């Protein structure tokens, strides 16, 4: 169990106050105190530290009535995180503001005559040049979305030999490109899960199952108290490897050309097993399969009730996940933002970020 001390209490207050400011376009200190349940004195001290840092700015309340005008707090638009994405067929990077809004997403120019390693080098140079052009921005850090966990001995992603990332010292290359900035590596599915957890109300007290499906792919993560359960080797949540009948895996049974009900029936098998094991409060479901909307959620719930005996009151809450840009990028930006605040306000590197 994590020890409770003055530092951890203060950090929870910092995070709570900052999140309220980030969620509001503009807000007063009194309204922050009401929203967080913290004293006005505590809110004032932390707000002062955030404005001194520059990530929060203060303006005077505009009103015609007589009397002293209250200070109104809002996020600075000039703080950002750079996300490098190595998960797709085309490399891309995006810049997100401290408010977790997408500023820009840019695919990498690709020349088929180059090797993958050479392409990565050009990609990093493109990202460097773009960040240099944002001379009015303060970059809080670099996030790297990977298809598999980073091996901390080899500094390579733990992908199989068929992947172009296999054996490439990606950590060294990114750090060489951005030597002055902190760099955080995360699997895209865990980063997406972190983003989805943020959208579940009261998530700090819940067990949440995040599930992502695409053609031939079923992945996910389980979080408890807002913390992702990664397993001993950092690969927990690869639900697609669950065995079905006749030696098939779940991932092999999920195909975009399948009837929607067939895919729902296969995924419901996995959900039944996971629900029995961890009893989640909420299932956040994200999918790239055709027809995957809230109607697909209804099919999953119908399968669970008719085939496995659930009732509406014994099922977890289902939430169809949507984001205007990639959840993995948002989740990484959230981690970077928290690490930046912890380092600047508390004076230490946050413990749960692993590079």
Distance between CA 226 and CA 343 in Å, rounded?
20
Per the listing, tokens 């929060």 go with 56
Per the listing, tokens 């299932």 go with 283
Beta-bridge mates of residue 183? 142
Local confidence band at 66 (pLDDT 50, 70, 90 cut-offs): very low
Share of the chain above pLDDT 70, in %: 93
Instruction: With CA atoms as reference, report the closest residue to 85 among 49, 34, 124, 132.
Output: 124
DSSP string, 86-121: -SSSS-EEEEEETTS-EEEEEEPP--TTS-HHHHHH
Share of the chain above pLDDT 90, in %: 74
User: What is the pLDDT, as a whole number, of residue 353?
Assistant: 54
The contacts found for 300-308 with CB under 8 angstroms, 24 or more apart, are 300/264, 300/267, 300/268, 300/271, 302/264, 303/264, 303/265, 303/268, 304/268, 304/271, 304/272, 304/275, 307/265, 307/268, 307/272, 308/268, 308/272
Residue 205 in this model has a pLDDT that exceeds 70: yes
User: What is the pLDDT, as a whole number, of residue 4?
Assistant: 45
What are 6-63's pLDDT values in tens digits?
676 789 999 999 999 999 989 999 999 999 999 999 999 999 999 999 999 998 765 5
User: What is the pLDDT, as a whole number, of residue 86?
Assistant: 96
The answer to whether 308 touches 234, Cβ cutoff 8 Å, is: no
User: What is the pLDDT, as a whole number, of residue 87?
Assistant: 93
User: What is the pLDDT, as a whole number, of residue 229?
Assistant: 92
β-strand 71-75 against 27-28: which pairing, if any? antiparallel
What are 80-128's pLDDT values in tens digits?
999 999 998 889 999 999 999 999 999 987 777 889 999 999 999 999 9
Higher pLDDT, 351 or 237: 237
Distance between CA 205 and CA 201 in Å, rounded?
9
Distance between CA 232 and CA 222 in Å, rounded?
14
User: What is the pLDDT, as a whole number, of residue 351?
Assistant: 60
The answer to whether 270 touches 219, Cβ cutoff 8 Å, is: no
Contacts of 126 (CB under 8 A, 6+ apart): 93, 106, 108, 109
Residue 254 in this model has a pLDDT that exceeds 80: yes
What does the block give as tokens for 178? 């951005």
What does the block give as tokens for 302? 């119908």
User: What is the pLDDT, as a whole number, of residue 305?
Assistant: 97
103-112, 211-220, 306-315, 332-341: lowest mean pLDDT where? 103-112
Q: What mean pLDDT do residues 311-321 have?
A: 93
All domains of the chain in start order, with CATH: 6-75 (1.10.10.10), 79-190+326-346 (3.30.420.40), 202-320 (3.30.420.40)
User: What is the pLDDT, as a whole number, of residue 61?
Assistant: 64
What are 263-291's pLDDT values in tens digits?
999 999 999 999 999 999 999 999 988 88
Mean pLDDT across the chain, nearest whole number? 90
The answer to whether 189 touches 251, Cβ cutoff 8 Å, is: no
């Amino acid at each position: 169990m994590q020890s409770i001390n003055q530092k951890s209490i203060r950090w929870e207050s910092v995070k709570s106050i900052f999140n309220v400011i980030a969620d509001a376009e503009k807000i007063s200190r009194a309204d922050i105190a009401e929203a967080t349940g913290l004293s006005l004195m505590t809110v004032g001290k932390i707000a002062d530290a955030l404005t001194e840092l520059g990530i929060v700015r203060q303006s005077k309340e505009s009103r015609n009535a007589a009397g002293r005008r209250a200070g109104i707090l809002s996020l600075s638009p000039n703080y950002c995180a750079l996300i490098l994405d190595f998960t797709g067929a085309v490399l891309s990077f995006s810049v997100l503001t401290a408010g977790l809004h997408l500023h820009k997403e840019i695919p990498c120019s690709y020349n088929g005559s180059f090797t993958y390693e050479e392409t990565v080098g050009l990609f990093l140079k493109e990202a460097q040049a773009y960040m240099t052009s944002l001379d009015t921005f303060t970059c809080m850090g670099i996030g790297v979305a990977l298809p598999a966990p980073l091996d901390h001995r080899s500094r390579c992603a733990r992908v199989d030999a068929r992947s172009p990332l296999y054996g490439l010292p990606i950590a060294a290359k990114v750090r060489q490109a951005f030597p002055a900035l902190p760099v955080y590596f995360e699997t895209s599915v865990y980063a997406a899960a972190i983003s989805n957890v943020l959208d579940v109300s009261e998530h700090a007290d819940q067990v949440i199952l995040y599930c992502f499906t695409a053609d031939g792919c079923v992945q996910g993560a389980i979080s408890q108290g807002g913390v992702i359960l990664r397993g001993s080797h950092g690969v927990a949540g690869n639900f697609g490897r669950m065995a079905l009948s006749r030696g098939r895996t779940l991932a092999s049974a999920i195909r975009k050309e399948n009837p929607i009900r067939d895919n729902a029936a296969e995924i419901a098998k996995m959900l039944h097993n996971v629900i029995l094991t961890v009893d989640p409060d909420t299932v956040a479901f994200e999918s790239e399969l055709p027809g995957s909307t809230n109607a697909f959620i209804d099919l999953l719930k119908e399968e669970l009730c008719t085939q496995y005996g659930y009732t509406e009151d014994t099922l977890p809450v289902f939430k169809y996940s949507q984001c205007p840009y990639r959840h993995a990028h948002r989740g990484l930006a959230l981690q970077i933002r928290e690490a930046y605040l912890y380092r600047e306000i508390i004076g230490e590197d946050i413990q749960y970020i692993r590079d």
